[in-house]
Chain A
């Protein structure tokens, strides 16, 4: 297993089979701070990393380290104070790529059926109406909810609602799927199932996924690459996970990778790394 450690400003690491031929999105020198009264709180600064198209990248770190802020900057929901984004070498504006967001809570419209919730996203994105039914059907089937098109969200379990959220995001056929701790409010059994299914969906659609989590085993299990932020919003580690797929929860290689990751994380916190 190859892992690449780099200090602040990790560049694209050697990710095994995926070589330079794959297009990438490069983020360089991102900085974001908020005004809080008189003082300025810097969430992160000089953050650089790149995301390979079609890859599964996790951004991991403790609560409050700025993971979600980073995702919002990627989505263009928040303006970065500094930094540039390049796609295939061409500079683009934040949020100026076709993304879809899956939130921690499903954020469905309770007064609309499952199908209508997906249609809401399709309309927002200006997808031609004649394609709606076909897309709703296809993506609900993909997440295993083909029979629930006419159900209302409150009639579904938490896991099913989160599946609707995923179907809604996929239905607009985005280039990048941004996922902000989508399984963290589910019970572990449901979360485990959804992780498996997410990998299936990823394989089937070939989407680029950026996945925020504070759960290290989740990050290791799902990802090709894990970017690790510490409590100060510093990107201090960059881990490629080359364990073969399909993966099983509890695979020896994954467990070892995870414990190595955690060791490095705590050594970093103690200031004893490098």
Chain B
């Protein structure tokens, strides 16, 4: 009840602010009902080129999902390697800050030059940009593990396999979920930037098209649609999954 209430309040607050802005400057901030109507229109009757907006959202979503999965797998894999081998840890601890530094746009451009203007390039670039951020929290989780638990496991002669299955990985789960959430917030933004530069489908491509037509309404409509999709994933998939995974929490 309390949560539903809070959720309702924040949605209403957002809409009120949006409407207020649209009153001040309707050119730059189309009101929410115009955007909603346009989103429905683009979905049902298709965008220029005949494809439904859902197609473009779906294409982008597929890329985002792939890149998120790759980034998470890389982060967990490297995190484990860092825990197991001190040299690996030292190398990545040195390079992590540098890995996080290059501007997204530069990475995207270089990867596209290398791999061409296609989905593979986008997924590669997004994974490269986002992995270090997931790795930072996974590595933090690795170091947060209570050494007393490892000592306990030692006194019961737990071998490496048992230690990883029963201690390290379950402990890491909360960090994996935190990373996943951050990744989802991040990958789609980077993916859209990639699509803006020279690819013919996906949300970014449509945003580029409508931006060049000086049509703000369509740009906002696509951004809004994608935000709704990300929120849906958060509440319909991640939250319930998390609740099941952390049933042990009091």
Contacts and interface: CB of A to CB of B under 8 A. Distances in A.
B162 A77 contact: no
B154 interface: yes
A124 B249 contact: no
Contacts of A121: 156
Contact of A103 (B152, B162, B247, B250): B152
Interface string A93-133: 00000011101010101111100000011011110000000
A126 B157 CA distance: 9
B158 interface: yes
B86 interface: no
A152 B170 contact: no
Contact of B158 (A100, A113, A123, A155): A123
B166 interface: yes
Contact of A124 (B149, B158, B173): B158
Given A109-B170, A111-B173, A101 B152 contact: yes
B156 A124 contact: yes
B152 A152 contact: no
Greatest chain B CB density within 10 A among A101, A110, A113, A126 is at A110
B248 interface: yes
Greatest chain A CB density within 10 A among B152, B157, B167, B249 is at B152
A170 interface: no
Interface string B174-202: 00000000000000000000000000000
A125 B166 CA distance: 14
Interface in B127-186: 148-149, 151-159, 162, 166-167, 170-171, 173
Nearest to B249: A154
B221 to A, nearest CB: 43
A238 to B, nearest CB: 27
Contacts of A100: 155-156
A121 B248 CA distance: 19
A126 B158 CA distance: 9
Given A111-B173, A155-B250, A120 B158 contact: yes
A125 B156 CA distance: 6
A152 B248 contact: yes
Given A75-B155, A101-B152, A124-B159, A109 B166 contact: yes
Contacts of B158: 120, 123-124
B148 A103 contact: yes
Contacts of A166: none
A29 to B, nearest CB: 25
Contact of A107 (B148, B162, B247): B148
A124 B167 CA distance: 12
A172 interface: yes
Contacts of B171: 111
A85 B221 CA distance: 77
A152 B153 CA distance: 18
A124 B162 CA distance: 7
A124 B148 contact: no
Give 8 closest A-B pairs by Cβ, nearest first: A154-B250, A124-B156, A124-B158, A152-B248, A107-B152, A101-B155, A111-B170, A121-B156
13 contacts: A77-B155, A100-B156, A103-B148, A103-B152, A107-B149, A111-B248, A113-B248, A120-B158, A124-B156, A124-B158, A153-B248, A155-B250, A168-B156
Interface of B: 148-149, 151-159, 162, 166-167, 170-171, 173, 247-250
Given A107-B152, A154-B250, 11 more contacts: A75-B155, A100-B156, A103-B152, A112-B248, A120-B156, A120-B166, A121-B156, A126-B157, A152-B247, A152-B249, A154-B248
Interface of A: 75, 77, 99-101, 103, 105, 107, 109-113, 120-121, 123-126, 152-155, 168, 172
